[in-house]
């Protein structure tokens, strides 16, 4: 069996001593994607909420893009999780018979709350007027789709639109803590594992949340630029600068909290300290020091920080924003990697390390992981086709 | 206008319905899990036994028969990545005993094929064998984290996995501080020591205890004050593994060195 061949190879690469059951690294790339994708959702939504609740006008062009991107990624968020199960066909048991003391069991409920109550409702109220208008203007399949999406509610009188706006606002206000809950909770799944000193930290939910905001904002920055490139539209530089500013601030807070967590570990230097310092300087050196900290944090921080004091020509800024956005997205991916994979590389005996080699094919290989990253982008393209923000009439709301 | 009126009503109904659904989802998701997160213990006042293990490190000779018998008795996959029980050889080298680098731990194939000493005699400060298995913790993290309740504690204190129910998420494997669990390569569910529950219920000893030639492994009823396990704990200085994690293991070791994790 190929699976056993991999394990025999891993057995040869064991350094020091690990418990014999630890040779197989249980949570693979798919579980890296799960907090990554969920984080993109929470972050994109929080950016949209900033816009709406705090009335940050400069971010207006990204409002609908943020909501649709959040939806596109949220629809896929559970997929890597389900496909990673030993018995994917039993996943519904998590909803049917959740075990009340398990941190993992309420994920389904948090997820559904967020999808059904927050995101779908907010988008629906935001687009309801357009559904009605578009269902009258369009033809064929599109007309039918819009008609269905109105859910039979065709009143677009000013009074009705005002109510839409009010309800949408309330949902956004409810949505902000929900987004915090969604991703803080994902952090708790890891942070509450006392057996694993690399995970077990009260900071974990907060760090996950802040890094989610960082990645979500970067996602919208990049998405906004790409959309404008394909639509051959001029980019609103005021908007781009504002996103850059928020990205800069959230990276600072995120980096500060993560550093605090590490400094705390180093200073307390508990039983697990020796193995963790070997982990960071060895197996995680590339993914953590180079990819997460240098490429994903320090370089974007420097570029974005520089722009807060001096703004070079538009063309340079655009390029720099795009590069920073992509670097941040890559950096946060490696942050998730370092948490999920890093936490399983060392033995809970603290006497040694196992290894992880990601395969190309198979359900948990690189290709499968790539598919789960491409699918939300395709969904987003579809959503942008069906619900183009640029065709909305903003007079009513 | 009439059309508008009619539609307004439809929308109000829709809102009512959706807020009702939202409310119940919120209620269910927020309230139900919280009520018993902290206190999940079932009432076990009427139990007949409360099983535990006692391992005597001074008696273990590292023959590995226990690990072998376990694999045969319980049909554990034979590859060297899946163990319900295994034996570790600890060798502490001369030099500073408080330094981790002087502690050599080995468990080739879980000790099934026996051990060879890789450290030359001259360099050895001391050496001993430590049999390991599931600790059947009283406050088991694996039971706590299982999202569907497939891992549970029987009233007589044995932690088991219902493999017809386990979804194979692996959270319990992550949560176990002792590395006692693995994902069964064929069943695709979590697997671990069952205390040989099928034997226990017939009044037989677990296979590993049965085959141990030196009596290093024993089991018994922790409720039975005159029983062999309680007497073993009484007459020896016993410790459990990783007590700081407060998992309350029911596996007690005599002569457990502090290097053992």
Which domains are seen in chain B, by residue range? 51-138+192-254 (3.30.70.20)
pLDDT above 90: percentage of residues in chain B: 79
CA-nearest of A120, A124, A111, A118 to A175 is A118
DSSP letters along A66-100, please?
HHHHHHHHHHHHTHHHHHHSS-GGGTTHHHHS--T
- Residue B108's alpha-carbon distances to B88, B93, B105, in angstroms, are 8, 19, 10
H or E stretch covering A307 = helix A299-309
The pLDDT tens digits of the residues spanning B147-159 come to 999 999 999 999 9
The pLDDT value recorded for residue B34 is 52
Residue A17 has a pLDDT of 97
DSSP string, B15-35: HHHHHHHHHHHHHHHHHHHHH
Chain B residues touching A121 at Cβ < 8 A: 18
Q: Look at residue A396 in the predicted model and tell me its pLDDT.
A: 41
CB nearest to A153's CB, from B7, B182, B183:
B7
Check B79 against A7: CB less than 8 A apart. yes
Q: Are A335 and A211 in contact (CB under 8 A)?
A: yes
Is residue A120 packed enough to be buried (19+ CB in 10 Å), middle (13-18) or exposed (0-12)? middle
Residues of A in contact with B106 (CB under 8 A): 17
How far apart are the C-alpha atoms of B104 and B127, rounded to whole Å?
9
> Hey, what are B51's tokens?
């099983």
Chain B residues with CB under 8 Å of A90 CB are: 148, 165-168
DSSP-derived secondary structure for A135-149: HHH--HHHHHHHHHH
Q: Which residues contact B23 (CB under 8 A, 6 or more apart)?
A: none
Sign of dihedral through CA atoms B36, B38, B41, B45? negative
Torsion angle, CA of A301/A305/A311/A313, rounded to 10 degrees? Answer: -10
Nearest Cα to Cα of residue B220 among B230, B207, B235: B230
B79 touches chain A (CB under 8 A): yes
Query: What is the C-alpha separation between A61 and A240, in angstroms, rounded?
Result: 10
Taking each helix axis as running N to C, give the angle between helix A140-149 and helix A121-137, from 0 to 180 degrees, rounded to the nearest 10: 140
Collapse the DSSP code of B11 into the 3-class scheme (helix H, G, I; strand E, B; otherwise coil) and give the result: helix
Residues of A in contact with B4 (CB under 8 A): 154-155, 157, 160
Residues of B in contact with A16 (CB under 8 A): 105
Q: Is the pLDDT of residue B43 over 60?
A: no
Residue of B4, B185, B188 lying closest to A157 (CB–CB): B4
pLDDT computed for residue A336 by the predictor = 97
- Side-chain-side CA neighbours of residue A196 (13 Å): 27
Query: What end-to-end distance do the CA atoms of chain B give, in Å?
Result: 77
Highest mean pLDDT among A2-6, B36-40, B102-106: B102-106
198-237 in chain B: CB under 8 A from chain A: none
Residue with tokens 């569907």: B148
In sequence order, what are the beta bridge partners of B129?
B89
CA–CA min distance B226, chain A (Å) = 34
Chain centroid to Cα A32, Å, comes to 11
pLDDT band at B2; cut points 50, 70, 90: very low
Pair of tokens at residue B66? 């226990």
Helix (H) or strand (E) holding A278: helix A273-281
User: Is residue B145 within 8 angstroms of chain A, CB to CB?
Assistant: yes
Query: Is the Cβ of B4 closer than 8 Å to some Cβ of chain A?
Result: yes
pLDDT at res. B11:
66
Contact call for B175 and A195, based on CB within 8 A? yes
Q: What is the pLDDT of residue A361?
A: 83
Residue B32 has pLDDT above 70, yes or no: no
Give the separation between CA A20 and CA A30, rounded to whole angstroms: 23
DSSP B52-79: EEEEETTT-----HHHHHHHHHHT---S
In the prediction, which pLDDT does A276 show?
96
DSSP classification of residue A104: T
- Residue A288's φ and ψ, nearest 5 degrees, are -95, -65
Which of B25, B29, B131 best tests the A interface by mutation, with the highest count of A CBs <10 A? B29
Q: How far is CA B158 from CA B16, B77, B181, B220, in A?
A: 48, 22, 14, 12
Tokens 């009126």 -> residue? B5
Q: Which two tokens stand for residue A291?
A: 């990819």
Question: In chain A, which residues have their Cβ closer than 8 Å to the Cβ of B173?
Answer: 21, 26
CA distance A179 to chain B (A): 14
A204 Cβ partners below 8 Å, 6+ apart? A187, A188, A190, A191
Q: What does the pLDDT read at residue A394?
A: 63
Instruction: Kindly report the backbone phi and psi dihedral angles of residue B128, in degrees, each rounded to the nearest multiple of 5, phi listed first.
Output: -160, 165
Q: What count of other Cβ atoms lies within 10 Å of the Cβ of residue B226?
A: 7
Measure the CA–CA gap between B103 and B91, rounded to whole angstroms. 6
Answer whether B193 touches A (CB < 8 Å).
no
B130/chain A closest Cα distance in angstroms: 12
| Whole-number pLDDT of residue A364 | 85
pLDDT given at position A395: 46
The answer to whether the CB atoms of A24 and B81 lie below 8 A apart is: yes
- What is the predicted pLDDT for the residue at A397? 38
ipTM of this predicted complex?
Answer: 0.93
CB B108 within 8 A of CB B220: no
State what percent of residues in chain B have pLDDT above 70.
87
The least confident of A145-149, A180-184, B49-53, B208-212 is A180-184
**pLDDT bracket for residue B99 (50, 70, 90):** confident
| Domain coordinates in residue numbering, chain A | 16-386
Pick from A342, A208, A176: which is nearest to A272 by CA? A342
Neighbour tally for B22: CB within 10 Å: 18
For the whole model, what pTM was predicted?
Answer: 0.90
Could A351 and B105 be called an inter-chain contact, meaning their C-beta atoms sit closer than 8 Å? yes
Mutation site, A2, A6, A16, A102, interface B, largest B CB count within 10 A: A102
Q: Which residues of B touch A155 (CB under 8 A)?
A: 4, 7-8, 11
Q: pLDDT digit of tens for each residue in chain A (397 aa)?
A: 678 999 999 999 999 999 999 999 999 999 999 999 999 999 999 999 988 988 899 999 999 999 999 999 999 999 999 999 999 999 999 989 999 999 999 888 889 998 888 999 999 999 999 999 999 999 999 999 999 999 999 999 999 999 999 999 999 999 999 988 888 999 999 999 999 999 999 999 999 999 999 999 999 999 999 999 999 999 999 999 999 999 999 999 999 999 999 999 999 999 999 999 999 999 999 999 999 999 999 999 999 999 999 999 999 999 999 999 999 999 999 999 999 999 999 999 999 999 998 888 888 889 999 999 999 999 999 999 999 999 987 644 3
Question: How far is Cα A343 from Cα A340, in angstroms, rounded to an integer?
Answer: 5
What is residue B47's predicted lDDT score, i.e. its pLDDT?
Answer: 86
More confident residue, B229 or B12: B229
DSSP 3-state assignment of A361? coil
- How confident is the model at residue B1, as a pLDDT? 43
Of all residues in chain A, the one with the smallest CA distance to B180 is A21
Question: Are B7 and A103 inside 8 Å of each other by CB?
Answer: no
Q: List CB contacts (< 8 A) between B166 and chain A.
A: 86-87, 90
pLDDT at B10: 67
Tokens at residue B4, please?
């508008």
| Pairwise CA distance, residues B170 & B176, whole Å | 10
Partnered with residue B218 across adjacent β-strands are B54
CA nearest B152 in A: which residue?
Answer: A99
* Chain A neighbors of B86, CB-CB under 8 A: 19-20
Residue window 27-46, chain B: list those with CB within 8 Å of chain A: 28-29, 32-37, 40
**CA-based nearest distance A38→chain B, Å:** 18
Residue in this structure with the two tokens 């590069």, named with its chain if needed: A323
DSSP code string of B74-98: HT---STT--SEEEEEEEEESS-TT
Residues in chain A within 8 Å Cβ distance of B7: 152-155
Given an 8 Å threshold on Cβ–Cβ distance, is B22 in contact with A113?
Answer: yes
Collapsing DSSP to helix, strand or coil, B208 comes out as helix
Check B22 against A154: CB less than 8 A apart.
no
Residue B71 — φ and ψ, nearest 5°? -65, -40
CA-nearest of A77, A371, A68 to A227 is: A68
pLDDT of A28 reads 93
User: Tokens in use for A49?
Assistant: 């909420």
The domain defined by A16-386 folds into: Formate dehydrogenase/DMSO reductase fold (1.20.1630)
Q: Which residues of A touch B181 (CB under 8 A)?
A: 21
What is the predicted pLDDT for the residue at B18? 78
Task: Determine whether the interchain pair B81/A26 forms a contact, defined as Cβ–Cβ distance below 8 Å.
Answer: no
Residue A4: list chain B partners with CB under 8 A: 79, 81, 185
Calculate how close chain A gets to B155, using CA atoms only, in Å: 18
CA distances from A47 to A66, A196, A383, B34 (A): 7, 33, 19, 30
Q: Which residue of B has its CA nearest to A90?
A: B167
Amino acid A362: pLDDT = 81
Q: Is residue A303 a contact partner of residue A249, using CB atoms and an 8 Å limit?
A: no
């Amino acid at each position: 069996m190929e699976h056993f061949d991999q394990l025999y190879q891993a057995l040869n690469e064991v350094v020091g001593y690990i418990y014999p059951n630890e040779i197989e690294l249980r949570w693979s790339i798919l579980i890296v994607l799960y907090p990554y994708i969920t984080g993109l959702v929470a972050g994109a939504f929080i950016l949209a909420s900033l816009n709406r609740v705090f009335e940050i006008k400069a971010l207006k062009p990204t409002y609908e893009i943020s909501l649709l991107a959040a939806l596109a990624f949220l629809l896929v968020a559970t997929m890597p999780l389900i496909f990673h199960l030993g018995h994917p066909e039993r996943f519904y048991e998590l909803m049917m018979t959740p075990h009340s003391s398990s941190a993992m069991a309420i994920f389904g409920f948090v997820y559904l709350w967020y999808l059904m109550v927050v995101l779908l409702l907010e988008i629906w109220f935001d687009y309801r007027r357009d559904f009605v208008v578009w269902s009258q203007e369009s033809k064929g399949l599109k007309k039918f789709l819009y008609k269905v999406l109105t859910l039979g509610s065709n009143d677009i009188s000013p009074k009705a639109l005002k109510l839409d706006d009010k309800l949408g606002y309330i949902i956004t206000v409810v949505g902000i803590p929900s987004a915090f809950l969604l991703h803080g909770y994902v952090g708790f799944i890891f942070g509450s594992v006392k057996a694993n000193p690399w995970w077990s930290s009260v900071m974990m939910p907060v760090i996950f949340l802040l890094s989610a905001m960082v990645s979500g904002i970067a996602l919208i920055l990049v998405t906004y630029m790409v959309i404008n490139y394909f639509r051959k539209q001029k980019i609103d530089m005021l908007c781009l600068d504002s996103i850059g500013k928020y990205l800069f601030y959230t990276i600072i807070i995120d980096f500060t909290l993560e550093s605090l967590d590490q400094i705390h570990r180093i200073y307390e230097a508990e039983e697990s300290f020796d193995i963790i310092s070997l982990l960071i300087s060895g197996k995680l050196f590339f993914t953590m020091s180079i990819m997460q900290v240098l490429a994903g944090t320090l370089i974007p921080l420097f570029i974005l920080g520089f722009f807060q004091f001096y703004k070079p020509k538009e063309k340079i800024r655009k390029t720099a924003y795009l590069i920073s956005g992509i670097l941040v997205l890559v950096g946060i991916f490696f942050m998730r990697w370092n948490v999920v994979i890093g936490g399983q590389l060392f033995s809970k005996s603290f006497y040694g390390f196992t290894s992880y080699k990601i395969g190309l094919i198979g359900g948990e290989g690189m290709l499968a992981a790539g598919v789960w990253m491409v699918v939300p982008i395709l969904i987003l393209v579809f959503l942008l086709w069906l619900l183009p923000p640029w065709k909305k009439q903003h007079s009513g709301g | 206008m009439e059309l508008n009126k009619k539609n307004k009503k439809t929308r109000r109904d829709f809102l009512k319905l959706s807020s009702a659904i939202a409310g119940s989802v919120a209620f269910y998701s927020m309230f139900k899990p919280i009520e018993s997160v902290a206190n999940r213990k079932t009432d076990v006042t009427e139990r007949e036994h409360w099983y535990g293990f006692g391992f005597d490190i001074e008696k273990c000779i590292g023959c590995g028969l226990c690990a072998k018998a376990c694999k045969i008795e319980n049909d554990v996959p034979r590859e060297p990545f899946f163990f319900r029980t295994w034996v570790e050889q600890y060798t502490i080298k001369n030099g500073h005993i408080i330094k981790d680098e002087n502690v050599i731990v080995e468990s080739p194939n879980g000790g099934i094929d026996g051990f060879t000493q890789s450290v030359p005699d001259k360099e050895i400060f001391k050496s001993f064998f430590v049999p390991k298995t599931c600790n059947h913790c009283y406050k088991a993290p694996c039971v706590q984290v299982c999202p569907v309740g497939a891992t549970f504690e029987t009233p007589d204190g044995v932690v088991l996995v219902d493999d017809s129910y386990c979804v194979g998420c692996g959270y319990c494997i992550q949560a176990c501080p002792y590395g006692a669990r693995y994902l069964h390569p064929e069943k695709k569910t979590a697997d671990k020591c069952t205390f040989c529950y099928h034997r226990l219920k017939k009044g037989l000893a677990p296979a590993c205890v049965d085959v141990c030639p030196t009596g290093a492994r024993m089991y018994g009823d922790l409720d039975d004050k005159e029983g062999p396990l309680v007497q073993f704990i009484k007459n020896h200085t016993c410790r459990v593994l990783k007590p700081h994690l407060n998992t309350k293991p029911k596996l007690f070791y005599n002569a457990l060195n502090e290097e053992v994790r």
